[in-house]
């Protein structure tokens, strides 16, 4: 199906998938999960600035869309780990490249914003 076709009820459009992985918190969560499983509290600390509710919603959305699995261990207290699915792991390299590009060019973006806002 090309990008101009209307998707059926059981498929997602390319735009929908790009919107999913292009979400601010989804990208950051997936980058954190790249090296391996992480617990909720580990993700929360690593992301800094994300509310518990937003992290929970992001993880649920990634799980719903097949990009993250959630494993609950039968321990007291319960331990829950999140892991990228194999097809989500294919995003690891492109997301790291995108993150590196953003870090390299952030000052240029800030400069462009200042110039635009001043004009």
Beta strands in 63-114 (DSSP E): 68-73, 79-84
- The pair phi, psi for residue 23, each rounded to 5°, is -65, 140
* Span 9-47, pLDDT tens digits: 567 788 888 887 778 899 999 999 999 999 999 999 999
* Span 57-80, pLDDT tens digits: 999 999 999 999 999 999 898 899
The long-range contacts involving 93-100, CB below 8 angstroms and separated by at least 24 positions, are: 95/21, 95/27, 95/30, 95/31, 95/34, 96/31, 96/34, 98/27, 99/27, 99/31
- The pair phi, psi for residue 50, each rounded to 5°, is -90, 135
Which tokens go with 85? 């699915």
């Amino acid at each position: 199906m090309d990008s101009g076709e209307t998707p059926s009820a059981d498929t997602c459009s390319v735009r929908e998938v790009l919107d999913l992985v292009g979400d601010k918190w989804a990208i950051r969560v997936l980058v954190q999960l790249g090296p391996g499983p992480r617990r909720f509290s580990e993700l929360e600390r690593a992301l800094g600035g994300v509310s518990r509710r937003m992290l929970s919603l992001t993880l649920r959305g990634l799980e719903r869309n097949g990009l993250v699995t959630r494993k609950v261990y039968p321990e007291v207290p319960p331990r829950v780990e999140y892991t990228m699915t194999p097809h989500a792991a294919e995003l690891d390299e492109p997301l790291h490249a995108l993150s590196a590009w953003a870090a390299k060019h952030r000052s240029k973006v800030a400069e462009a914003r200042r110039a635009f806002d001043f004009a």
